Amino acid sequence: MTAYIIRRLMQSAAVVLAMSVIVFLGLHVVGDPVYLLIDPQADQAEIERTIRRLGLDQPIWIQYFHFIKGALTGDLGTSFVHGTSALKLIVERMPATLEIAIAATLMSIFIGIPLGLYAGLKPNGFISKSIMATSILGFSLPTFWVGIMMIMVFAVMLGWLPSTGRGPTATFLGITSSLFTIDGLRHVAMPALNLALLKISLVIRLTRAGTREAIHQDYIKFARAKGVSMGRIVGVHLLKNIMIPVVTVLGLEFGNLIAFSVVTETIFAWPGMGKLLIDSIQTLDRPVIVAYLIIIVLLFVIINLVVDILYSVLDPRVRIGEKAT
Amino acid sequence: MSVTDAGPVAAPVRQPAVQTPFARFVADFTESRLATFAFILLVVTMLLALIAPWIVPQNPYDLAQVDIMDSRLKPGTPASSGKYTHWLGTDGAGRDLVSAMLYGLRISLLVGVLSGLIAMAVGAAIGLIAAYVGGRTESLIMRIVDLQLSFPAILVALMLIAILGKGVDKIIIALVTVQWAYYARTVRGSALVESRKEYVEAARCLGLSNGRILFRHILPNCLPPLIVVVTVQTAHAISLEATLSFLGVGLPQTEPSLGLLISNGFQYMLSGDYWISFFPGLVLLATIVVINLVGDQLRDVLNPRLSK
């Protein structure tokens, strides 16, 4: 077990390192940020001073070496545009992104599971068929278009919800979040739902498939024969068994949610990490792009690692320590 | 088919029609009315995109034909020149929306189909080689595939765009890089199954070259699952390109796809001018759904386990 974890850790570190090289080298090929950032009127001396200040005059491997040295001490470079630490910029915006990602995960659980259960228990009903048809739409609709339509309907036409931005925050149990204020929740509703649509569809399908499979199992039949009420069978016996894949997938998909928040945040002008990435790509703010990508790769690697380890702990059938094929 | 007795029967009993594999395929496919309808719609969409320059009332990117005074006209308003009516209104720059949408559809389809096909060629070749060569090469290739597929497509695409910059060619490179892994995995899977079959052994006994066995014997037998992946991935590519363009990191303003039209219209959405985003979005949506419906039916038809 320990050997397995150590090996997985080393693999993960290698992935992060490889990604950092690819990203760093890749970004060096693009246009020179110096000319984007310096006033075109500036004279040669001024340009050179800026190049030296940003460290862009040194050979690329030295720049990369400085970058790695900094990264290990938590310094991922200084933003060209904002003039502050790239890591700090991202960390500052992380709570906003985590907020909609968590809200979206909760939505997919509390909307997806009941609908999936219903569709699994009554597979031939009209409502079930509508649920499944809608979930297909959830898969094929482009997220950004749905977001725009949501703004059009709920903000412009009906005027129920604010169209953009994040609401006021409040601190509760040491966590500062806009989820704790009424206005904050009103702001979070649309972006979170937009982000959750794909996951809701996924959870509906998983839950339905799990229910359809489990309902014919002996333990359900036995519980029925014993006279257990239908509510208890579904709520306790069935749900417990179908939750394992659902929770696993949701865990794995959490990283996906954060990646996809790039789109949602742009539509709803949500001040999170994703919006920062898009702005940085447009201004060629290299350190921020690199820092964002490193952090997201790290996040993915950690999520995958945790899920792998948890899985092997929870399910003894997953033989660990064996050579992966 | 076998010709049975050609006896002296006066009125010939109707023979079972000769069914070529293609005819059977068509018959199976048209079994679903929805899929047939989707296929017809897809063909119409592609034709419209192809002949767009000859059927639209104006070239939306010829400044001489666009009047800025016509900007943000409601659907159904006649153009100021009086020659035609803007049936779906105009956008912020005064371009006729029908024309702009058909031009956008051209670019969206071009990018989607082209990147789908290139990714298929690259991915299939790599997958085939992996399956055939085996050993370390195979496990290295599959490791890369697994690694790439563990990251969401949009993230990989964004990273590449950040590295490569904007432009049609750059977008296609990004989409191909995002998608080749799906093809490689699919082809490797079926090639592994195929390469253990007897006809491959027979071909090898005949002394055929590796290349010939791979591309003339194994590849054709891997095609059915590949075709399904192509349709699904093309729809994905179109959707992904639209998303990137919407984010402003995809195609440049000079080559507006549907995603860019939606993005341009978004700024007018809050003042109630819904049509600039709404109609291009509908076209995008219809295209994606139609391709997916065709793909679904193809999967059912081409799946040997489901065949009767």
| Matching residue, tokens 């997220």 | A143
In a domain, A238, yes or no: yes
Is B149 part of the contact surface with chain A (CB cutoff 8 Å)? no
Q: Per residue in A120-151, pLDDT tens?
A: 888 788 888 888 888 877 877 888 888 888 88
Q: Closest approach of chain B CAs to the CA of A94, in angstroms? A: 17
Q: Per residue in B137-179, pLDDT tens?
A: 888 888 888 888 878 888 888 888 877 777 888 889 999 998 9
Token pair in block for residue A159:
């005027």
In a domain, A44, yes or no: no
Residue A73 burial (10 A CB sphere; 0-12, 13-18, 19+): exposed
Count CB neighbours of B69 within 10 A.
Answer: 8
Is B260 part of the contact surface with chain A (CB cutoff 8 Å)? no
Question: What pLDDT is stored for residue B121 in this prediction?
Answer: 92
Range in A56-65, A244-253, B62-71, B203-212 with the lowest mean pLDDT: B62-71
DSSP notation for B232-271: HHHHHHHHHHHHHHHTTSSS-TTS--HHHHHHHHHHHHTT
Is B239 part of the contact surface with chain A (CB cutoff 8 Å)? yes
More confident call, A265 vs A137:
A265
Question: What pLDDT is stored for residue B67 in this prediction?
Answer: 67
Question: What pLDDT is stored for residue A325 in this prediction?
Answer: 40
Q: Per residue in A212-224, pLDDT tens?
A: 888 888 888 888 8
Q: Closest approach of chain A CAs to the CA of B150, in angstroms? A: 8
Domain count for chain A, please give it. Answer: 1
Question: What pLDDT is stored for residue A320 in this prediction?
Answer: 47
Token pair in block for residue B282:
């509908």
Interface test with B, best of A140, A150, A190, A325 (most B CBs within 10 A): A140
Residues A259, B246: C-beta atoms closer than 8 Å: no
- Inter-chain contacts counted by CB atoms under 8 A, chains A and B: 101
Q: Mean pLDDT, chain B, as a whole number?
A: 80
| Matching residue, tokens 């039949």 | A221
In a domain, A236, yes or no: yes
Question: What pLDDT is stored for residue A28 in this prediction?
Answer: 66
pLDDT surpassing 80 at residue B18 = no
Euclidean distance between CA atoms B166 and B161, whole angstroms: 7
Question: What pLDDT is stored for residue B118 in this prediction?
Answer: 93
In a domain, A113, yes or no: yes
Is B235 part of the contact surface with chain A (CB cutoff 8 Å)? yes
In a domain, A45, yes or no: no
Q: What is the mean pLDDT of residues A55-76?
A: 76
**ipTM of the predicted structure?**
0.76
Residues B278, A152: C-beta atoms closer than 8 Å: yes
In a domain, A298, yes or no: no
Count CB neighbours of B67 within 10 A.
Answer: 16
**Percent with pLDDT over 70 in chain B:** 83
The SS3 call for residue A132 is helix
Q: Per residue in B197-252, pLDDT tens?
A: 888 889 889 888 888 888 888 888 888 888 888 888 898 899 888 888 888 887 87
Q: Per residue in A79-131, pLDDT tens?
A: 777 778 888 888 888 888 888 888 999 999 899 888 988 888 887 888 888 88
Euclidean distance between CA atoms B127 and A218, whole angstroms: 42
pLDDT surpassing 80 at residue B15 = no
Residues A142, B266: C-beta atoms closer than 8 Å: no
In a domain, A8, yes or no: no
Question: What pLDDT is stored for residue B65 in this prediction?
Answer: 67
CA A212 to chain centre: 29
Q: Per residue in B29-69, pLDDT tens?
A: 888 788 888 889 889 888 888 887 787 777 777 666 666 66
Residues B247, A23: C-beta atoms closer than 8 Å: no
User: For chain A, how long is the longest CA-to-CA vector?
Assistant: 88
Q: Per residue in A174-211, pLDDT tens?
A: 666 777 677 777 788 888 888 888 889 989 988 888 88
Nearest CA in chain B to A139: B289
Question: What pLDDT is stored for residue A39 in this prediction?
Answer: 61
In a domain, A26, yes or no: no
- A218: CATH: 1.10.3720.10
User: CA-based Rg of chain B, rounded to a whole angstrom?
Assistant: 24
pLDDT surpassing 70 at residue B83 = no
Domain that holds residue A253: 93-266
Is B281 part of the contact surface with chain A (CB cutoff 8 Å)? yes
Which residues of A fall within a CB distance of 8 Å from B161? 281
Q: Closest approach of chain B CAs to the CA of A250, in angstroms? A: 14
